[in-house]
A and B are shown apart, each in its own frame.
Chain A
């Protein structure tokens, strides 16, 4: 035992002191979002955390600034020659991590690789609107889209990591290529990783064309639980933690000295859905617009934001998350929270209460409604219970329940649900298109529905506006179309938008500074490498203290030795005396 302690103590000192020599390492913890692969062609749609690995290594043509606007990355500037032809002037001083120069050939190669290999399913969504790409000269690339595409710069191109042609042209099978030694243009160079969902180590790319990073090394660590990650940042083992700390853990972090929690609206929102599909198998009363409007008056999203998220969520009124700023219609009306008004609307529409107090439709259907919550968002159960209690007060037999996420997905595909609370999240995208795409009528198909729609919404006016906004490259025109669409959705009340919970991320502010000011979360799911480029040590101090560790380890070792010794003494004493019988 003592030998054991003696072995540990000096090596703990050795490990810490080596990293304390003037070299700085920024360690970021990321929870619950898998980082399965180093290869952009092998990323699957499961890899919620792969973007973090990628955007330290690679660049894209454009990226997001801290307020969600597309700005230059590998493309220094761009012009629209026609609404479907864009010329990108590339930077001329970027180099690959192996020293080769970056040119337009790399861009053309990368995009063509994705266009010509539809089996690379993950990347398809980012190149689906591109018709062709051509290198015009060494530093100019021309992209032609199939139709005018408003989502190109704030969504599609954000996800196309530019890969080195001189390496990837020799790859035989893209989808199984594991990219064990990735070479990119990004701010950090790959050193090694511990396998899927463990950690990745990087060295700074001192030749990075946007400026050398302010740290020497970067480590990305994957955690399976926010609890463990909170402890890690409290003890100083990591410097930054995200992406979305649950509201229950945030107070512990804010009350720890040296930790700052930064919460900014995230590109996602929670919503309440009514199954209004005409051929659905849920309660048919929800197909009546009056019922949906009445029930919308019986949901108070401000109260829910307080109950479930302790006031840290931002209630929202439309289907576009608060984080997407300019696309959110500030004038879309809100259904006031008014139980009396709700009851009145139901009465007028013919849904009178029966003898047991539960309302019945004019055709005799009881208003019994399920409010479901998927198992991976179990904290929303409190919101569901609150809603059920409001609805019970106006004569609805409402029951909240948590359903396994797979089972709920199956139910929705079969149109068997009544209502539920769920999330729409755009990932790295800052584009509003995703958030209105599930209302297009082609997304509602008979069971089993392979489309996005969970409300069964079918409105040809809306469909026409949707097709229009996606082509409106001019932001002002597009805004006006999107505003109209949000108003229409409000009138038809198939969703009740609830809130945007924001992303709570934590940083050791006693050691680090340089978080970019802005409106989107500092580490905004791969929309840019702003955080990695700007983070710098608060002062030139070494990471980790040495004396504490060795002392406590020595104490632990001594305690163990003492316990063993006592036990041994007790045992030998006992041996000598008589046993107390059977």
Chain B
């Protein structure tokens, strides 16, 4: 059973981690060469007064510790600041991007975890057979392909031959359309980025599932169960899979948290307005408030999903306390 002291310890650990990450991120972004103002002036005439004005607007002329304490104070009160680029509150930028990324990545994760488990089981059960070799080889090759390249290839095939949309989340329309057609439109736009992500992500799940299952097959209790005459399907699911799923769960928890950061390459190729694209553009412009806000969200997401995994572990495996 989960006891309160355990939970309390974990939560305290969480908060400390978040605070440390915030501090580290703050420093990290300012270490990047170039600052937001110097990167601007190649295309427009910036007078010395404008440079000074912008520098003070961005708060960059104050000593670092002053900027830092202002940042911590604001964050704790829920004010994530204002984007240098668009002057919009960072929260208004990060939340919709988060939702868009969540839509894409939750479906992609679901499909790739499902496919990974399925193929992993088949490969482990039929180890050494043609199915195993083909499946493992294919998923590994796809996993090691550069996502950007894979995305562009799929984009090319999809747009030219299948007339799928080139990017974005919805078709731009001047008439209001109902919920079901909107859902269908969203699905059409998701097909290509989904395929890119799933083809790329499945490989790692296949490897872990197959490895864990093969490990379990070597255990003595599997031989005992077979000797007792247990059917193949019961053997596989009740004895094999349920023990092999633990390492799989760790990987799933880790990846789900990290995927909140968005799949930058996929979102760039398909112009999917999610977190990855937001972070990428903010890095290019050294938009510190957006970077800080986005990284805060990613940090919290990773920590939360790992926390949930920590809480669930004892339920799955009574040996863990």
Interface residues of A, Cβ cutoff 8 Å to B: 4, 7-8, 11-12, 14-15, 18-19, 23, 25, 27, 34, 36-37, 39, 42, 44-48, 118-119, 121, 124-125, 128, 175-176, 178, 191, 194-199, 201, 203, 217, 219, 221-225, 227-229, 231-232, 234-235, 237-238, 404-407, 409-410, 413, 422-427, 434, 437, 450-452, 548-549, 552-553, 556, 571, 574-575, 578-582
Chain A residues with CB under 8 Å of B166's CB are 228-229, 231-232, 235, 237-238
Interface string of B150-162 (1 = CB under 8 A from A): 0010011001111
Task: Kindly state whether residue B77 has any CB partner on chain A within 8 Å.
Answer: no
Would B34 and A118 count as touching, CB distance under 8 A? no
Question: Which one, A46, A223, A423, contacts B85 given CB within 8 A?
Answer: A46
A118-B49, A552-B162 known; A45+B40 contact, CB < 8 A: yes
B320 beta carbon closer than 8 Å to chain A = no
| CB-contact partner of B127 in A8, A36, A232, A580, under 8 A | A580
Interface residue? B285 (CB, 8 A): yes
A404 CB to closest chain B CB (Å) equals 6
Chain B nearest Cβ from A190, distance in angstroms: 13
Bound complex: CA of A223 vs CA of B281, how far in Å? Answer: 12
| B154 shortest CB reach to chain A, Å | 11
- With CB as the reference atom, state the residue of chain B lying closest to A410: B33
23 contacts between A and B (CB under 8 A): A7-B183, A18-B173, A27-B172, A36-B88, A42-B87, A45-B40, A45-B41, A176-B87, A196-B85, A196-B93, A198-B168, A219-B172, A223-B271, A227-B155, A231-B159, A406-B32, A406-B39, A427-B44, A553-B188, A574-B122, A574-B131, A575-B233, A580-B126
C-alpha gap A119/B53 in the complex (Å): 7
Q: Is the CB of A404 within 8 A of B33?
A: yes
Which residues of chain B have C-beta atoms less than 8 A from A582's C-beta?
Answer: 127, 214, 217-218, 222
B12 close to A (CB within 8 Å)? no
B residues in contact (CB < 8 Å) with A: 32-35, 38-51, 53-54, 57, 82-88, 93, 96, 122, 125-129, 131, 152, 155-156, 159-163, 165-168, 170-175, 177, 180-181, 183-185, 187-188, 214, 217-218, 222, 232-233, 268-271, 273, 277, 281, 285-286
Question: In the bound complex, what is the Cα–Cα distance between A503 and B218 (angstroms)?
Answer: 65
Given contacts A121-B57, A425-B43, whether A11 and B85 have CB atoms under 8 Å apart is no
Q: Which one of A45, A176, A578 has the highest number of Cβ atoms from chain B below 10 Å of its Cβ?
A: A45
Q: Smallest distance from the beta carbon of A565 to chain B beta carbons, Å? A: 15
> A15 near B185 (CB under 8 angstroms)?
yes
On chain B, the residues within 8 Å of A42 by CB distance are 86-87
Q: Which residues of B contact A124 (CB under 8 A)?
A: 47, 49-50, 53
Which residues from chain A contact B129 at a C-beta distance below 8 Å?
A: 580
Check A422–B42 contact: CB distance below 8 A: yes
A121 touches B122 (CB 8 A): no
Q: B44, A45: Cβ atoms under 8 Å?
A: yes
Answer whether A34 and B273 are a contact pair too, CB < 8 Å, given A46-B285, A556-B162.
no
Q: Are B88 and A196 in contact (CB under 8 A)?
A: yes
Report A-chain residues with C-beta under 8 Å of the C-beta of B232.
575, 578-579
B51–A232 contact, CB under 8 A?
no
Partner of B45, one of A232, A409, A434: A434
Chain B residues lying within 8 Å of A12, measured Cβ to Cβ, are: 184, 188
Decide if A11 touches B47 in the complex (CB within 8 Å). no
Asked if B39 and A224 make an inter-chain contact with CB atoms under 8 angstroms apart, the answer reads no
Q: Judging by beta carbons under 8 Å apart, are A14 and B57 in contact?
A: no
CA distance A76 to B216 in the complex (A): 84
Q: Can you name the residue of chain B whose Cβ is closest to the Cβ of A203? A: B174
Inter-chain contacts of B35 with A (CB < 8 A):
406
Min CB gap B178→A, angstroms:
9
Contact B165 A44 (CB under 8 A): no
Least Cβ–Cβ distance between A104 and chain B, in angstroms: 28
- Chain B: which residue is nearest A423 at the CB level? B42
Across the interface, name the chain A residue whose C-beta is closest to B158: A231
Cβ-defined partner of B171 (8 Å) among A15, A176, A548: A15
Q: Please tell me if the beta carbons of A34 and B85 are within 8 angstroms of each other in the complex.
A: yes
Residues on A with beta carbons closer than 8 Å to the beta carbon of B159: 231-232, 234-235, 237
From the candidates B41, B167, B180, B214, name the one contacting A223 in the complex (CB within 8 A): B167
In the complex with contacts A46-B40, A232-B159, A574-B273 CB distance below 8 A: no
Q: Which residues of A contact B39 (CB under 8 A)?
A: 405-406, 409
Bound-state Cα–Cα, A410 to B32, Å: 11
Q: Which residues of A contact B160 (CB under 8 A)?
A: 231, 234-235
Complex contact B42–A425 (CB within 8 A): yes
List, in ascending order, chain B residues with CB within 8 A of A15's CB.
Answer: 171, 173, 177, 181, 185
In the assembled complex, the CB of A233 is this many whole angstroms from the nearest CB of chain B, namely 9
> Given A8-B184, A423-B42, A582-B214 in contact, is the A199-B163 Cβ separation under 8 Å?
no
Which residues of chain B are within 8 angstroms of A48 by Cβ–Cβ distance? 43
B34 touches A228 (CB 8 A): no
> Which residues on the B side are within 8 Å of A404 (C-beta)?
33-34
Taken together as a complex, chains A and B put the C-alpha atoms of A225 and B93 apart, in Å, by 21
Q: How far is the CB of B306 from chain A (nearest CB, A)?
A: 31
User: Which residues of chain B come closer than 8 Å to A178, judged between CB atoms?
Assistant: 87-88
> How many angstroms from the CA of A224 to the CA of B267 in the assembled complex?
9
Q: Do A221 and B125 contact each other (CB < 8 Å), given the known contacts A195-B273, A427-B44, A582-B214? A: no
